[in-house]
Amino acid sequence: MANSTEDTDEVPVSGPERGDPTWVAPALTSADVTRTVGKTSVFFGPPLAILAQGQKNTMLISGKLNRTAERYMEILKQHVVELTDPERLCLAHICHIGFMSPLEISELAYEVDMTTFECDGLDKATLAAKLEAASFADLVAIVESLGF
């Protein structure tokens, strides 16, 4: 019975633990999304620094970040612009530069007019008109839905 799993002298190999740079957090189930995960280091770039300006209490800062994120997620839900697949492909091509600043997001309609991207079913004039009519929140929701 040398192959039996009950008769093994091997110690189970454990993976990296939290704190180890190679540790990867386990995927969360939808029920676990709201669980408390403890303290997490967050880089406060200029936008977050401005949002938390003057506050030293980490609980107050955490509350403000969570309220802001909750409101932002609601904005994304309520600002949906219907796009065809060719329109989404065109915008993904434009956004594929990476980080989209607020100025770049506000100029999406102009970028559609300027792009050389073409695909079957794409009407750039119609897409540009949709983007011109959209609010800034609509444009942000579009960019977020594309993953940029």
Q: H or E element: which one contains 145?
A: helix 136-145
**23: which 2 tokens?**
């540790």
Is residue 20 one of the residues assigned to a domain? no
Domain boundary among 36, 57, 78: 78
Is residue 17 one of the residues assigned to a domain? no
Domain boundary among 78, 99, 118: 78
What is the DSSP track for 49-110?
Answer: HHHTTT---HHHHHHHHHHHHHHHHHHHHH------HHHHHHHHHHHTTS---HHHHHTHHH
Predicted local distance difference test score (pLDDT) of residue 78: 92
Is residue 105 one of the residues assigned to a domain? yes
Domain with 109, as residue range(s), is 85-145
pLDDT of the chain, 148 residues: tens digit per residue: 555 555 555 555 666 776 666 666 666 666 655 655 667 787 888 998 899 998 888 888 889 999 999 999 999 999 989 999 999 999 999 998 778 899 999 999 999 999 999 999 999 999 999 999 999 999 999 999 988 8
SS3 category, 3: coil
Domain boundary among 62, 78, 94: 78
Predicted local distance difference test score (pLDDT) of residue 28: 60
Residues 72 and 120 in one domain: no
